[in-house]
Amino acid sequence: MEVNYPYYHPIQMAYRVAQQLICFKYSSQDEDSIRQALQDLKEQYIDGRI
């Protein structure tokens, strides 16, 4: 598993981001809430916390 980790981790992060984006698309939140959630998602991605 450790041999494949460099390949697996970016795929896992992309999958989690895609899940969040789909949730945002179909949510009933207002535009400001979605903008804030997208900003939070961006920061989490940059920090590697996803």
- Determine the structural domain holding residue 14 and report its residue range: 5-47
| pLDDT over 90 (residue 32) | yes
Cα–Cα distance, 22 to 18 (Å, whole number): 6
User: Which residue matches tokens 């959630």?
Assistant: 37
Give the mean pLDDT of 1-26. Answer: 87
In angstroms and rounded to an integer, the radius of gyration of the C-alpha atoms of the chain is 13
Q: Report which DSSP code applies to 50.
A: -
- How many domains are contained in the chain? 1
Higher-pLDDT residue of 3 and 8 is 8
Q: What's the whole-model pTM score?
A: 0.73
18 vs 1, more confident: 18
The DSSP secondary-structure symbol of 37 reads H
pLDDT confidence of residue 1 = 57
Q: What does the pLDDT average to over 11-22?
A: 94
